[in-house]
Structure 1
Amino acid sequence: MTDARHHPRITPSTRILLHDLATRRDRDEWIVGRMATRTFVALPAAGARAVELLGEGLSVARTAELLRDETGEEFEISDFVGDLVALGFVARIGDRPVPDGEPPRASLPWLRPHQVRSALHPALPVFVGVLLLAAVVALIRRPEVLPGYRDLLWSPHGSLVLISAAAAGWTLVLAHELAHLVTARAAGVPGRIRLGTRLQFLVMQTDISGIELAPRRHRLTAYLAGIALNLSLASALVLTLALADTGTTTHRLLSAALLLALLPLPFQLMVFTRTDLYFVLQDLTGCRDLYGDGLAYARYVFRRGTRTGTGDPSTRLPPHERRAVRLYSLVLVVGTVACLTFMAAVTLPVEVTLLVRAARGLGPGHGLAGNADSAAVLVTLGGINVLWAVTRWRNRRSAVQS
């Protein structure tokens, strides 16, 4: 974003040149944004009309005059132009160009929308549905194909199981995020894949800011693309297992792969961590920032209970958003508390125990296999925790700097 304080004074005669902006009507508001910088804002109808008039080259005074004639209300267009400058929407004020920041980098910039347009084809969800139905039928006919947790232990060597599961798991995670990226790119949204944290979880996430301007079918397709990929892969593995001989190494590996494809899906139900289903929920409820507004309302309720609170922040929201935000705030609080409690009571003690055992298993008295097994646990499990800490610190620093 740019700082409006360092630009020419905006007067009634000022004319501006806007960057290439996109707009979409959403209920009673308009989404206006600049795809190059992935900056978007929700405006009332009068605000969207002001952007349209200013974009046509009208002066600040003429824009205010036309809006007054059309709506019967007075608008401070000079202040509005200052807001547009701060958002990075203005390319020039009068004859003076406005400095522009470096646009965010996109992942796989060589991938063009026309190359992946088929990702938004209406037949693709039908194909996923048919594949899933076929897998369900196969499971009904052969329920023994459904794997259990023991299928992950396909080798007697724990280090081999751990390393292979980590490699396969992160490969599936990358494929999941690539599905989001490809569908968003097909809709003309650049997208960027990066590491992030959700509570105690290290995650890979895809920023598809700009998808807000796409039609609803395209938005939902981009949000659900990762889940669809996991379900499609799992369905294909079920059908393969139904035809494969049991008891073989291949069968055990396929069963382990099936479990790894299914394991991320329950996590998607944890909408309080802003999973894929969270964005679907946010879109269907018409909320602008379900998580942020829900967190603000939860804080208000807590402060009200301690008699230190201010006004209810949800009252400024439209009725349909207010109801959704208040309900989501309950899910947010309960889910977060339950998740952190589980980490403190189960996950953390288990990980500490494994790391301590691995550290004690190193040394000349434990043989080559024992040392290799301990080293694998330390590198894999310890590395993930270190990566979580580094990622969380880096993202928090970036958020403060922005």
Structure 2
Amino acid sequence: MSEMKISGDTIVEVHNIETYQSNDNDSITIRRIGTSDYLLFDVNTLNLYNSFSSNKSIAELALINSDHDYQIEDIIEFVDVLLDAGFIKTIDGQKISESLTDNPNLNVEPSKFYSLIFGKVAWTIYIFSMFANLYLFFTFETLRPKGSDFFVSNSGIISILIIIISTWIVIFFHEYGHICAAKSVGIGAKVKWGYRLVFLVLETEVADIWSVSRRKRYGIYLAGIAWTSILILFCALMQFYFFNEFVIKILKFAILMQLQTIVFQTLLFLRTDLYYVLINFLKIDDLNESMKYIFKNVLTLQFHNVSTKLNNLSAKERKVVKIYSVCSLIGILVSLYLFFVIDIPIALYSVKQTLEKTLRDPLFSISYWDGIAMGTLTLCPIVILIVYVLIDLRKRTVKGNI
């Protein structure tokens, strides 16, 4: 592939779309035909998108849309957004992606079961569980999570098995909550790997969420936290009925993992569940994307330069984005500090201990395999994270080369 520079002379062709606007949505939602890929436009942006079908260059489109203050640079920036989202068909006649036939089965039929577990009664129970957890942790000191709860067993092999199984149960329960909530309003969802900054995550993709009202989206976004709260309450109550020390350690570890999941949600810049609740409430399509433009302007010392994206925001929305950007910058710095000052040293220490055990202990002894198990537990998430970052960088490189 040869590198192609997009300029004012470039002619762009876009894919066919369908549009719709709900009563409680100020923006127009567009979907690329044959996919579940959605973007949110205002009327002017939609008109600009449709003008790409006129076989005119970007410079000509800027002239046609001059009434809306679209400059050549603004349209080029818009083309970059469309390219990343997969809405570009050809650039100067060179095919970027194929047109697709529409799939009428993007959505799923909501069932009574899913509607029941995310109905009013169910949400009352979920909210009750949150307050019940706070009461139990405040009242019973033995239930309060501690850092030592992470160490379930002195054996590395047993610890790694328990950590893997418990972690997967916690993650599955959280993500399956999102899936069930999505099905309760008649849209599909799928779970996939991803990463946020320097953290490997498992996330639920609900591509069709823009096809439902903002009010219904809250249930989908908060479903994971709701089910996590229920599981925490279950693990806390079970400690009153089990007296086996090993079982109680497992229950405590499960609570600790789930509380970490909830705390992680407060890092909004990582696009957590609470981040989507916030943008849904504020009716700002993408706070993180707007934040990137502000950071770009600051880093390039172009303090007075604003992009088309920011120009389309109201004064109030732009103020919210600026406040969010400052808070996110603090969160990013804190997260990077924790990762490099705490997580990485712990990983290096674990690897060092592994090497010492494997070199000191007899080959294939129990202690030897304990060292191997702990080293594997430490390195696997880091290796997977590096692989996904490299795959993502490769995809970005391919998109930037035509």
The bucket for the TM-score relative to the shorter chain is 0.7 to 0.9
CA distance in structure 2 between the partners assigned to 1:168 and 1:35 by the alignment: 41
2:354 aligned residue: 358
Instruction: Give the whole-Å Cα distance in 1 for the aligned partners of 2:378 and 2:341.
Output: 18
- State the partner residue of 2:341: 345
Q: For 2:187 and 2:398, how far apart are their aligned partners in 1?
A: 25
Secondary structure of the structure 1 residue equivalent to 2:40: strand
- Residue among 199, 202, 225 paired with 1:201: 199
Secondary structure in 2 aligned to 1:24?
coil
282, 290, 294: which is aligned to 2:291? 294
Post-superposition Cα deviations, 1:276-310, rounded to whole Å, max 9, x if no partner, equal 11111111111111001012112212332xxx556
Aligned equivalent of 1:166: 164
Q: Check the 8 A contact 1:22/1:34 in 2, yes or no.
A: no
Q: By how many angstroms is 1:147 displaced?
A: 3.4
* Pairwise CA distance, 1:231: 0.9
Report the counterpart of residue 30 of structure 2 in structure 1.
32
Q: 1:258 aligns with which of 236, 249, 255?
A: 255
1:3-44 per-residue CA deviation (whole Å, 9 max, x = no partner) reads x9679xxxxxxxx9x776543245543223358512223333
Q: How far does the alpha carbon of each residue in 1:295-337 deviate from its partner, in whole angstroms, 9 at most, with x for none?
A: 2112212332xxx556134344212320111011112211112
Q: Secondary structure of 2:203's match?
A: strand
Quote how far apart the aligned CAs of 1:269 are: 0.6
Q: Which has the higher contact order (CA 8 A, sep 6+)?
A: 2
Inter-CA distance 103–173: structure 2 relative to 1 (3 Å threshold): farther
Verify the 8 A CA contact 1:32 1:40 in the aligned structure 2.
yes
SS at match of 2:186: coil
Contact kept in structure 2, 1:227 and 1:265, CA below 8 Å: yes
Identity %: 19
Q: Cα deviation per residue 1:139-181 (whole Å; 9 max; x = unaligned)?
A: 4543322232223323221342233113311331132122212
2:94 match: none
Amino acid across the alignment from 1:382 = L
CA distance in 2, matches of 1:206, 1:113: 18
| Matching residue of 1:124 | 122
Name the counterpart of 1:66: none
Separation in structure 2 between the aligned mates of residue 253 and residue 35 of structure 1, nearest angstrom: 48
Distance, in Å, in 2 between the alignment partners of 1:159 and 1:270 is: 32
Structure 2: distance between partners of 1:47 and 1:391: 33
In 1, the alpha carbon distance for the partners of 2:102 and 2:270 equals: 27
**Higher mean Cα deviation, 347-356 or 357-366?**
357-366
Does the aligned pair in 1 maintain the 2:107–2:188 contact within 8 Å?
A: no
Asked if the contact 2:17–2:33 (Cα under 8 Å) also holds between the matched residues in 1, the reply is no
Paired with 2:187 and 2:33, the residues of 1 have a C-alpha distance of 7
Describe the shift of the 1:352–1:209 C-alpha distance in structure 2 as closer, same or farther (beyond 3 A): same
Distance in 2 between the 1:345 and 1:47 partners? 44
Q: What are structure 2's unaligned runs of at least 5 residues? A: 1-10, 55-66, 69-74, 90-96
The number of residue pairs the alignment matches comes to 352
> Structure 1 residue aligned with 2:176, among 158, 175, 178?
178
Does the aligned pair in 2 maintain the 1:285–1:320 contact within 8 Å? Answer: no
What amino acid does structure 2 have at the position aligned with 1:311? N
1:125 and 1:370 mapped to 2: Cα distance?
48
**Which one-letter code corresponds to 1:323 in the other structure?**
K
- For the residue of structure 1 that corresponds to 2:358, the secondary structure is coil
Indicate conservation of the 8 Å contact 1:117/1:186, yes or no: yes
> What's the counterpart of residue 393 of structure 1?
390
Alpha-carbon contact 1:30-1:45 (below 8 Å) kept? yes
Mapping 1:362-377, distance limit 5 Å: 362-363=358-359, 365-366=361-362, 368-377=365-374
Task: Supply the RMSD in Å over aligned alpha carbons.
Answer: 3.9
1:379 aligned partner, one-letter code? T
Residues 31 and 42, structure 1, Cα contact 8 Å, conserved in 2: yes
| Equivalent AA in structure 1 for residue 124 of structure 2 | V
Q: For the pair shown, which has the larger CA radius of gyration, 1 or 2? A: 1
Contact 1:223–1:277 (Cα < 8 Å) also in 2: yes
How far did residue 218 of structure 1 move? 1.6
Q: Secondary structure at the match of 1:383?
A: helix
C-alpha distance in structure 2 between counterparts of 1:282 and 1:118, whole Å: 27
1:227-248 deviation line (CA, Å, top 9, x unaligned): 111111001222222x325563
Q: SS at the partner of 1:31?
A: strand
Distance 1:19 1:30, change over 3 A: closer
Deviates more, 1:357-366 or 1:174-183: 357-366
Query: Is 1:213 the counterpart of 2:211 in the alignment?
Result: yes
Structure 1 segments unaligned to the other structure (5+ residues): 8-15, 52-59, 61-72, 91-97
Q: Which residue of 1 aligns with 2:319?
A: 323
Give the structure 1 partner of residue 305 of structure 2: 311
Q: Which position in structure 2 is the counterpart of 1:101?
A: 100
TM-score, structure 2 normalization: 0.75
1:247-274: per-residue Cα shift (whole Å, max 9, x none)?
Answer: 6332222222222222211111111111
* Structure-2 residue corresponding to 1:93: none
Checking the alignment, whether the CA contact within 8 Å between 1:33 and 1:210 is kept in structure 2 is: no
Question: TM-score, normalization: structure 1?
Answer: 0.75
Is 1:120–1:218's contact at 8 Å kept on the other side of the alignment? no
Is the aligned partner of 1:234 residue 2:232? Answer: yes
Aligned to 2:58: none
Q: Structure 2 CA distance, aligned partners of 1:214 and 1:194?
A: 22
